Amino acid sequence: MNLVSMRVITNDVERLVSFYEGISGTSATRYTPDFAELTTPRGTLAIGSTRTLTAFGAEGELQPETNRSVILEFLVEDVDATFLQLKDQVPAFLQEPTTMPWGNRSLLFHDPDGNLINFFTPVTPEAIRKFAL
């Protein structure tokens, strides 16, 4: 098994896609007005409208803007530099860059739908080895 993608369901695909393009510096592929993907070397963040749930027979299974259990995590080269770049794009940070006990330096904030985002940089030798490409 290989996890390759996470999908966020939203009421406003364009708003969310534009936000993720801005914070990541990555252009999304917009397949339809209801579905787009941001692809990185390690995986893909898919963003779909609630209308896409119909294709799965899963209408009503998910409710946008209610995430209370998932953190979307992105490996960045330098979390401190990224924090300075994001200050104009992110209205509030839950946590400014902080070194965590497991060896990552992390930055936490919400996307426009309220999903929790963690940008992190490994800083201990063990964490650096773990995330080496």
Q: List, for residues 105-121, the tens digit of each pLDDT value.
A: 999 999 999 999 999 99
Strands 71-75 and 44-49, how do they pair?
unpaired
What are the C-alpha distances in Å from 117 to residues 40, 61, 120, 123?
A: 16, 23, 10, 19
Provide the edge-to-edge strand list for the sheet that holds 5-10.
Answer: 5-10, 44-49, 35-39, 29-32
How many of the other CB atoms lie within 10 Å of CB of 117? 20
Nearest to 102 by CA among 67, 63, 131: 131
**Scanning the structure block, which residue is given the tokens 């998910």?**
62
Nearest 5°: the CA angle 35, 36, 39 is 150
Tell me the domains of the chain and their CATH numbers: 1-60 (3.30.720.120), 68-133 (3.10.180.10)
Over the chain, what is the mean pLDDT?
A: 95
pLDDT above 90: residue 5: yes
- Rounded to two decimals, what is the model's pTM? 0.93
Q: Which helix (H) or strand (E) holds 40?
A: none
- Distance CA(56)–CA(70), nearest Å, equals 21
Phi, psi of 38 (to 5 degrees): -110, 115
pLDDT above 90: residue 60: no
